[in-house]
């Protein structure tokens, strides 16, 4: 085992100004909270307990945005900072409103009403704008339209909320009674539109996840779940603002859970080189946050339910609810911990799952040359590596997924049957080291990778041997065509001419002249057969890769016979490699000749097409008498099957009273 370590890659600072603004607003809010401690809230509702949720979410999103911007330069980093800024300003506005209720402060009315729209702006940016930035891949028209619509809806909703006058609060300097009533109507409409569009964004993220690698797919699904929960929490929260009590608390808890899940998914998705300490902090934060929120939701729900159905006082109901929570804590913690570990660490969190991922890569239908690529990809995704390379010592096979970029590199020898055949080389994420757990898993999996490499090498050698065999057969067919066309064919024609000269110059008995005429006719017919066979053995068009033209030439060969041959072959079949072209052509020739000689068919159809996976499908269908069920396969059928197998394909024959169908699939 060889380990090479490069220096820690430099980090490019980014996102600092926005993070500084959020930190300043959050710190100012905390200072005011200390100043306001012990003082009563104003007569109008300011939802003072929400301050702490705002501070936590502001810190979470600001820190996440700074990290994303610094490490990936992804535009979502700045959007995350904006989300954090919205929550920080909302927390500051709450404390400013409490301070202004007991002492004169400037712009008190503006500060009070900022509570209504600053948090909304932050939450809606995360709900309506962020989804369209998260998904990887190109920016198509749908994605651009989705982003523009989300941004417009944020502006309209926030603008409407900023004009609403809070009952009992100081006057809103941005509005007046008429404008406030109009803005309240628009705001009510915007709430439903924002919830609906948030669910659309969540669905878009989940739909795009289907075409992503496994680790991206996991993170995007978590992001989709977080966005859907955020939309539901926003709807419950808006309803709870009017009803209060458990509904409002449930909305707050849903929003907090959604923000934690979404933040974790964003970090995993966009910060691909997160440090082990960052991953540890992320795992513990997400697990703790989800369990805390889940415990509160379950406790409140149980108390509300049991008070209604049981004739007990609140003390007894509380004891029962606590007992249920105590019993559910351990299994809930294990369930949440395992899924968060799967999100953060990939398959490395569960060696059995990693083995399953590698096994799926081995058994999935694919071309032989891509097996190593898929195994390397499974290792990279499961172990969160920057790059994985599997290479043979003889230089014939190499599979690389990802690109090393100055991080630690681990090289493991691949040994099969006691002989070294190659190397497994993995690169850690930029600036980080491979932990002992990852190294141990790689050492245990190197044997499976070695077996895969050995099979790939064997397959490559067999493919090379098959290619040489096919080349030799092509050379023999060219020689045979030349002999038939330039040797035997002209010789038969010459013999026929000589017999014609004898018949014209000699005085033969009538019966002898008739016999000589029949021989001359037979020689002429056989000479034409030699010419047709010479063309069918290897037509000139096939030498130049024009398979479709060769098949149409074959059909014209039978124009003067009772058999009508119809060919359907698109121009894309000419892009098949030479081996598959030759195999397809000769299967078609044998099928047509069998229809002509043995099936006594009147019509034969030849259809050749490319399948979506790149394979070629050849179908030869005739309307002849078909084959008996107990008939032994003849030379023609055996030859067709051999041709298909030589090209790595398969051949099937279906025969009945309505004719015979020969189907060959060449991968």
pTM of the model: 0.55
Q: How far is CA 432 from the centre of its chain?
A: 27
**CATH number of the CATH domain containing 245:** 1.20.1070
> Which tokens sit at 271?
């910060």
Q: Is the pLDDT of residue 453 over 60?
A: yes
Within-domain flag for 165 = yes
Residue ranges of alpha helices (H) inside 364-423 are: 371-383
Mean pLDDT across the chain: 77
Q: Is the pLDDT of residue 406 over 70?
A: no
Within-domain flag for 526 = no
**CATH number of the CATH domain containing 660:** 3.30.565.10
C-alpha span between 201 and 142 (Å, rounded): 11
Question: What pLDDT score does 461 carry?
Answer: 74
Q: What is the pLDDT of residues 56-93, one digit of tens each?
A: 888 888 888 888 887 667 888 888 899 999 999 999 99
Helix, strand or coil for residue 390? strand
C-alpha span between 197 and 228 (Å, rounded): 10
Question: What pLDDT score does 499 carry?
Answer: 61
C-alpha span between 161 and 457 (Å, rounded): 67
C-alpha span between 627 and 632 (Å, rounded): 9
DSSP 8-state symbol, 357: H
Q: Do 118 and 202 lie in a common domain?
A: yes
User: What residues have CB less than 8 Å from 598, skipping those under 6 apart?
Assistant: 624, 634, 636
Q: Do 285 and 382 lie in a common domain?
A: no
Within-domain flag for 8 = no
Q: Do 186 and 77 lie in a common domain?
A: yes
Tell me which of 308, 324, 349 is where a domain ends.
349
Q: Do 603 and 462 lie in a common domain?
A: no
Q: What is the pLDDT of residues 316-364, one digit of tens each?
A: 777 777 777 777 777 877 766 666 666 555 555 455 555 555 555 555 5
Tell me which of 415, 442, 469 is where a domain ends.
469
- Count of the separate structural domains present in the chain: 4
**CATH number of the CATH domain containing 397:** 3.30.450.40
Within-domain flag for 641 = yes
Q: Do 160 and 306 lie in a common domain?
A: no
Provide the 10 A C-beta neighbour count for residue 633. Answer: 12
Question: Nearest-CA neighbor of 377 among 361, 392, 393, 355?
Answer: 361
Long-range Cβ contact pairs of 402-408 (< 8 A, separation 24 or more): 402/427, 405/9, 405/430, 406/6, 406/7, 406/9, 406/430, 406/431, 407/5, 407/6, 407/9, 407/431, 407/432, 408/3, 408/4, 408/5, 408/6, 408/432, 408/433, 408/434
What DSSP assignment string belongs to 81-102?
HHHHHHHHHHHHHHHHHHHHTT
Within-domain flag for 204 = yes
> Which tokens sit at 390?
């599997």
Question: What pLDDT score does 371 carry?
Answer: 75
Within-domain flag for 521 = no
Q: What is the pLDDT of residues 353-389, one digit of tens each?
A: 555 555 555 555 454 446 777 777 777 777 777 788 8
Q: Is the pLDDT of residue 605 over 90?
A: yes
HSE on the CB side for 489, CA within 13 Å?
15
Q: Is the pLDDT of residue 585 over 60?
A: yes
Within-domain flag for 565 = yes
Q: Do 71 and 110 lie in a common domain?
A: yes
Q: Which residue has the higher pLDDT, 180 or 380?
A: 180
Look-up: residue for tokens 């417009």? Answer: 152
Angle at 648 between CA 646 and CA 651, to 5 degrees: 85
DSSP 8-state symbol, 488: I
Within-domain flag for 6 = no
Question: Nearest-CA neighbor of 661 among 618, 615, 620?
Answer: 620
Range of the domain at 560: 544-667
Question: What pLDDT score does 622 carry?
Answer: 92
Look-up: residue for tokens 């909302």? Answer: 90
DSSP 8-state symbol, 633: P
Q: Do 210 and 78 lie in a common domain?
A: yes
First-to-last alpha carbon distance for the chain, in angstroms, is 39
Q: Do 264 and 381 lie in a common domain?
A: no
DSSP 8-state symbol, 417: T
Looking at residues 652-664, what average pLDDT do you find? 87
Q: How far is CA 22 from the centre of its chain?
A: 36
Query: pLDDT band at residue 257, thresholds of 50, 70 and 90?
Result: confident
Q: Give the β-pairing of 564-569 and 603-610.
A: parallel
Question: What pLDDT score does 339 carry?
Answer: 64
Q: Do 94 and 241 lie in a common domain?
A: yes
Positions of E strands within 373-418: 387-392, 398-402, 409-416
Q: Do 255 and 146 lie in a common domain?
A: yes
Q: What is the pLDDT of residues 503-535, one digit of tens each?
A: 665 666 666 666 766 766 666 666 666 665 655
Give yes or no for a contact between 299 and 325, defined as CB atoms under 8 angstroms apart: yes
Query: pLDDT band at residue 32, thresholds of 50, 70 and 90?
Result: very high
DSSP 8-state symbol, 573: G
Q: Do 35 and 57 lie in a common domain?
A: yes
Question: Nearest-CA neighbor of 303 among 242, 255, 232, 245?
Answer: 245
Which neighbouring-strand residues pair with 337? none
Q: Do 297 and 213 lie in a common domain?
A: no
Query: pLDDT band at residue 157, thresholds of 50, 70 and 90?
Result: very high
C-alpha span between 492 and 499 (Å, rounded): 11
Tell me which of 349, 377, 399 is where a domain ends.
349
């Amino acid at each position: 085992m060889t380990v090479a370590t490069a220096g820690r890659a430099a980090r490019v600072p980014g996102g600092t100004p926005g993070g500084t603004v959020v930190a300043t607003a959050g710190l100012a809010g905390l200072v005011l909270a200390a100043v306001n401690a012990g003082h009563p809230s104003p007569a109008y509702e300011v939802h003072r307990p929400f301050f702490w949720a705002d501070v936590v979410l502001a810190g979470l999103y600001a820190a996440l945005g700074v990290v994303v911007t610094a490490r990936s330069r992804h535009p979502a980093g700045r959007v995350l900072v904006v989300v954090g800024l919205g929550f920080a300003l909302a927390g500051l506005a709450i404390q400013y409103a409490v301070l202004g209720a007991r002492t004169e402060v400037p712009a008190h009315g503006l500060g009070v009403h900022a509570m209504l729209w600053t948090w909304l702006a932050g939450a809606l940016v995360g709900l309506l704008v962020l989804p369209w930035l998260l998904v990887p891949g190109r920016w198509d028209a749908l994605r651009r339209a989705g982003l523009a619509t989300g941004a417009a809806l944020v502006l309209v909703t926030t603008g409407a909320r900023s004009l609403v006058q809070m009952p009992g609060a100081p006057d809103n300097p941005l509005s007046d009674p008429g404008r406030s009533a109009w803005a309240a109507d628009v705001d009510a409409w915007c709430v439903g539109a924002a919830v609906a569009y948030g669910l659309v964004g969540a669905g878009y993220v989940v739909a795009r996840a289907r075409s992503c690698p496994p680790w991206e797919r996991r993170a995007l699904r978590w992001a989709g779940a977080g966005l859907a929960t955020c939309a539901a929490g926003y709807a419950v929260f808006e309803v709870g603002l009017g009803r209060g009590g458990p509904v409002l608390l449930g909305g707050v808890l849903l929003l907090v859970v959604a923000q934690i899940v979404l933040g974790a998914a964003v970090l995993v998705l966009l910060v691909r080189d997160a440090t082990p300490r960052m991953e540890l902090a992320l795992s513990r934060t997400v697990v703790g946050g989800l369990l805390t929120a889940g415990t509160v939701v379950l406790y409140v729900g149980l108390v509300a339910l049991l008070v209604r159905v049981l004739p007990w006082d609140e003390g007894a109901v509380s004891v029962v609810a606590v007992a249920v929570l105590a019993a559910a804590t351990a299994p809930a913690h294990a369930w949440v911990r395992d899924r968060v570990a799967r999100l953060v660490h990939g398959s490395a969190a569960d060696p059995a799952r990693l083995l399953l991922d590698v096994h799926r890569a081995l058994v999935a239908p694919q071309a032989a040359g891509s097996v190593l690529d898929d195994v390397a990809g499974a290792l990279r995704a499961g172990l969160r590596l920057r790059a994985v390379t599997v290479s043979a010592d003889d230089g014939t096979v190499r599979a690389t997924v990802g690109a090393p970029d100055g991080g630690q590199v681990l090289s493991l020898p691949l040994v099969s049957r006691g002989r070294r055949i190659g190397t497994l080389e993995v690169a850690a994420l930029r600036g980080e080291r491979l932990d002992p757990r990852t190294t141990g898993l790689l050492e245990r999996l190197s044997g499976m990778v070695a077996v895969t490499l050995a099979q790939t090498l064997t397959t490559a050698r067999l493919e090379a041997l098959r290619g040489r065999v096919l080349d030799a057969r092509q050379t023999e067919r060219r020689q045979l065509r030349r002999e038939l066309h330039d040797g035997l064919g002209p010789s038969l024609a010459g013999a026929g001419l000589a017999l014609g000269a004898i018949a014209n110059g000699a005085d033969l008995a009538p019966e002898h002249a008739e016999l000589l005429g029949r021989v001359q006719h037979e020689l002429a017919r056989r000479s034409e057969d030699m010419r047709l066979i010479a063309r069918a053995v290897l037509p000139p068009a096939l030498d130049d890769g024009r398979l479709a033209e060769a098949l149409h030439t074959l059909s014209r060969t039978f124009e003067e016979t009772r058999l009508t041959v119809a060919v359907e072959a698109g121009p894309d079949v000419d892009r098949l490699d030479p081996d598959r072209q030759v195999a397809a052509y000769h299967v078609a020739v044998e099928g047509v000749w069998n229809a002509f000689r043995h099936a006594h068919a009147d019509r034969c159809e030849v259809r050749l097409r490319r399948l979506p996976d790149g394979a070629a499908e050849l179908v030869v269908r005739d309307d002849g008498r078909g084959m008996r069920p107990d008939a032994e396969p003849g030379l023609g059928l055996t030859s067709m099957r051999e041709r298909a197998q030589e090209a790595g394909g398969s051949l099937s024959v279906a025969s009945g009273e309505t004719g015979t169908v020969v189907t060959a699939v060449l991968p």
